[in-house]
Amino acid sequence: MMDVQNAALTDLPEEGPINIVGDTIRRLRRKRNMSQQDLSIKLETMAVYVCRGSISRIEDKSRKVSDKELRAFSKIFGVPMEELIDEGY
Q: Could you tell me the CATH number of the domain that includes residue 22?
A: 1.10.260.40
12-53, pLDDT tens digit by residue? Answer: 446 789 999 999 999 999 999 999 999 999 999 999 999 999
Is 73 part of any domain?
yes
Q: How far apart (Å, rounded) are the C-alpha atoms in residues 43 and 37?
A: 10
Is 2 part of any domain?
no
Q: How far apart (Å, rounded) are the C-alpha atoms in residues 65 and 55?
A: 10
* Residue 73: domain span: 18-88
Number of compact structural domains in the chain: 1
Half-sphere exposure in the Cβ direction for 20 (13 Å, CA): 10
Is 31 part of any domain?
yes
Give me the pLDDT at residue 58, please.
97
Is 82 part of any domain?
yes
Is 60 part of any domain?
yes
How open is the CA angle 54-59-60, to the nearest 5 degrees? Answer: 95
Given a cut of 60, whether residue 10 has pLDDT beyond it is no
Q: What is the pTM of this model?
A: 0.80
Q: How far apart (Å, rounded) are the C-alpha atoms in residues 23 and 53?
A: 16
Is 22 part of any domain?
yes
Percent of the chain with pLDDT over 70: 81
Is 74 part of any domain?
yes
Is 51 part of any domain?
yes
- Asked if residue 39 lies in contact with residue 2, where contact means CB atoms within 8 angstroms, the answer is no
